[in-house]
Every structure is written in structure tokens, then in C-alpha cells.
Amino acid sequence: MSDGRILIVEDEEGQRTLLRALLEGRGFAVDTASGVTEAKAALQAAPPDVLLTDYNMEDGNGVDVLKAARAADPALGVVLITAYGTVPLAVEAMREGAVDVLLKPVDPEALLTVIGRALRMKAMRVENVQLRARLHEQFTSGGIAASSESMRAVLSDALRVAPTRATVLVTGESGTGKELIANLLHEEGAHPAGPFVATHCAALPESLLESELFGHAKGSFTGAVADRKGRFEEADGGTLFLDEIGEISPPVQVRLLRVLQEREIVRVGENLARPIHARLVAATNRNLEEEVAAGRFREDLFYRINVVHLHVPPLRERRADLPELVAAFTKDCAERDGLAPLPFSAEAMDVLGQHAWPGNVRELRNAVERALLLAPGEAVGVEDLPAAVRGGAVGQAEPDQQQGLDAAVAALERRMIKEALAQTGGVQTRAAALLGLAERVLRYKMKKHGIERGA
């Protein structure tokens, strides 16, 4: 089986024959050309993986061939061979993209080493092109948009680890899109046809979480009227996504650790161990290292779930993504609700760009949907944006320049919670849904900001 296709460009027939015999003896498919003109035709007829070219030829030189080769295929590895090696020649060749410059007579082992390096470099370049294409597909899908370097890095890492079975920990503030990353890991993984099962740990009472995750046997507790599979079994052959894993209690942490170590589950009320074949993706908006230090999260479990760590940056740190996100949400909301896909005015986009976005992408989507519903004209203006967004520009949210971004974000978060409670008559379940939070998280934030239940 061939290890790659090599094109040899050499005007000396004896040298050409020698190089061809050497490379064919090592399993390469080899084409040859006796000059620049033949080389250009060969590049079009059968694109090689590596090009070996002499420098001095009757109808041109090796740099001419190099430029033509790189124009035809930017990923192509080119090795220049010359009997007249000089520093300026080497510099020019490297500047034009040559992998290396070798002197005649060519040492066979040195040549094979350079060809191996050229093949690896081409494979990496091709992989990067494919990766960028896949990333672009994700950027324009409406699910994940990323023009910012920080978000591109996250998606690049996610696509690299997706085909593996490695456990992944996704961290980031609430509303940044951690579940979208988990979905991406599943869809680009080894078993995309398998189930994707999402469980929000903070939304389940502690008394039910064990049963939800691991299943239970009939009669194991009051209300257990039949055997029931847990989320691990439901996700068998696919992906289990545990959101807000930092909220689970110590007893559940112990059971979860055992499942990850043994790759088997025992239903509540049973002794039978059942093998599981689900990939685990966990997410949290907490700093688990701090939770470990404080004794609230098991260190051994942390290392089990933190095999690969993907941190999704908050929207305020990737404002370059705003135009793409606004366009995607506008399209989605317009199609879903039968609305006109109104453009956002430059002034409205400026205000969106200045807002601190404590609710991140989730808050932006809500703001876009509200603006489309209420905008009376042919474009969304500043006046159509939610009051919290209009008053949340960076310059307006920080009248005291000493208070800093953290204080401004905290103040805005406090105001948004109060507004949500006011709109829902103080019903925390509805307020949490309005803000896109779990009720348990809302209670935590109310306590953090000193907001009373009757606020």
C-alpha cells in the first residue's frame, strides 16, 4: 500500500531514475517531470503529497515550481534539492513554503526523514482546513456562533476530543451555552446515532436524584411501583450530560464516582451490577477546584470528570460573537413565531455591544425575541430593547469608575432578579423560568444578593 504520492522534478535523467527507484522501493507512488513546464502539467494531472524539485533547470528553477505547487495545493510539502546551496536560496525557498533544502548528492536517509516530515505537515494542514470547515458549519448553524478567538478555541478543542470516549467537563457561567457544547461533542462523537440524555442536577430534589441517575427497583421506596431505568441506562450507547454537577450531594458523589470507576451501575434497591456504555459530559457554573478545597466536592470525583476541560467564556468576554448570535436568533425566532426577520439598527447593536450580559447568550436570545415581538417599525431600534439592556451599557452601569466590572455585573444581576420577581408576583418558579435559571440557583442568587422572598 502506498505511503503517499511523490512528484520528482529533475532535469538529469540519471538522478531522476535514482530517486524514483529509492522512493518506489519504500512504497511511494512516484511521478516524474524533467523541467518546470512538465512539472506544472503533472501538478494538474495527478496532485502529489510531496514535491521534490531540483533548483537549476533549463526552463526555470525550483522556486518557480515551488510557487506553482503551493498555488495548486497550499498544503503540499515541497523539498528543494540543489548542488549550489546558499543562505539566500534557502531563505527564499523557506519564505515560499519549502519544507527543507537538501544538498546534492542527497543522503537517502535524510531525504526519507524530510519526506516523512513533509507528509505529516500536509496531514496537519489538511486537518486544519477540515477543522475550519466544520467550525464554520457550526458557526452558521444557529446553534453555536463564534467569531471570537476564545470561542473558536473552545470549539476547536471540542471537535478534536469529540471522536474519543474521554469524559469532558464543561465550565462557564449560566447561559453561556454549555449544553450546546455537550450536544456538539455527541453529534461529532463516535456514536452520534445513540441517545443524548440531559439531566439538570440542580433541578431535581436530592431525594430523587439517585433514582433519576441510577434507576430503582420496584418497591425500593414509597412510590416505586415498577422497575425503572436511570439516566445512565437510558444513555447507553450514547452520551449522558449532567448539568450543574457541582450541586450534587456527597452521597450521590460517592455513587457517581463508583459508576465512573467500575463502568457499571446498581439500581436503588437492587444488588445487580449492570454495565454501562455511555460517555459522560458534565457541566457546572461553579469553580470545582474551590469546591474541592472547601470540602464540598470530592477531589477524586473531580479528577474523574475533569479528563478534558472546556471553559466557555461569558458573552461579555466575546463581544465579537454578538452580530452572528443576533442574526442566528433573529432567524430562529422569525421562523418559529412567524415574525418578520427585522434587522437591528446600528444604534441598537451598539447598545447590545455595551451591555454586560450577566445572563449571557440565554439573556441575549430573550432580548432578541422580545425586540422582534414588540418592534413596530421596519428595524429594531434602541427603544425596542428591554429596559435592563438599554440601561446596562458598560458606561452606564459603572458611574463609579472604582467599582469595576464585577460590581457592575452584580448590580445588574440583582436588578434583573428583582424585575423578574416583580413581573411574576414573587413566584420564584416562574421568575427562575423567566431568567433561564433553575429555581435552586435563583434561591442561591437571591441569598447572595440579599433579596428577600417578598421582594
Burial readout 410-430 (b: 16 or more C-beta within 10 A, e: otherwise): bbbbbbbbebbbeebeeebee
Give me the helix-helix angle, 404-423 and 428-435, nearest 10°.
130
Verify that 249 and 264 share a domain, yes or no.
yes
Task: State the Cα–Cα distance between residues 42 and 51, nearest whole angstrom.
Answer: 11
Question: How does the average pLDDT of the chain come out, rounded?
Answer: 84
φ/ψ of 393, rounded to 5, equals: -60, 150
**Final residue in a domain of this structure, among 313, 343, 360:** 313
pLDDT of residue 13: 87
Q: Which three cell numbers stand for residue 291?
A: 469546591
pLDDT of residue 1: 36
Task: State the Cα–Cα distance between residues 7 and 320, nearest whole angstrom.
Answer: 44
Question: Is 134 part of any domain?
Answer: no
pLDDT at 408 over 70: no
pLDDT at 28 over 70: yes
pLDDT at 402 over 80: no
Cα angle at 206 between 202 and 212, to 5 degrees? 85
pLDDT of residue 407: 65
- Tens digit of each residue's pLDDT (9 = 90 or more) over 255-313: 999 999 999 988 888 888 899 899 999 999 999 999 999 999 999 999 999 999 999 99
Verify that 299 and 365 share a domain, yes or no.
no
Average pLDDT in the 177-183 region?
92
Say which CATH number the domain at 382 has: 1.10.8.60
Verify that 289 and 334 share a domain, yes or no.
no
Verify that 412 and 303 share a domain, yes or no.
no
Question: Is 391 part of any domain?
Answer: yes
**Final residue in a domain of this structure, among 313, 340, 365:** 313
Verify that 10 and 85 share a domain, yes or no.
yes
pLDDT at 412 over 80: no
Those residues with Cβ within 8 angstroms of residue 220's Cβ, 6 or more apart along the chain or in another chain: 267, 268, 269, 270
Average pLDDT in the 322-333 region?
89
Verify that 161 and 299 share a domain, yes or no.
yes
pLDDT of residue 65: 86
For the question of whether the overall pTM of this predicted structure is more than 0.75, the answer is no
End-to-end CA distance of the chain: 74
Domain count, the chain: 3
Domain that holds residue 433: 316-449
pLDDT at 196 over 90: yes
pLDDT at 392 over 70: no
Verify that 28 and 152 share a domain, yes or no.
no
pLDDT of residue 400: 42
pLDDT at 2 over 70: no
Verify that 354 and 308 share a domain, yes or no.
no
Q: Which residue has the higher pLDDT, 161 or 143?
A: 161
Verify that 160 and 301 share a domain, yes or no.
yes
3-state secondary structure of 148: coil
Most confident of 2-11, 40-49, 302-311, 422-431: 302-311
Verify that 95 and 199 share a domain, yes or no.
no
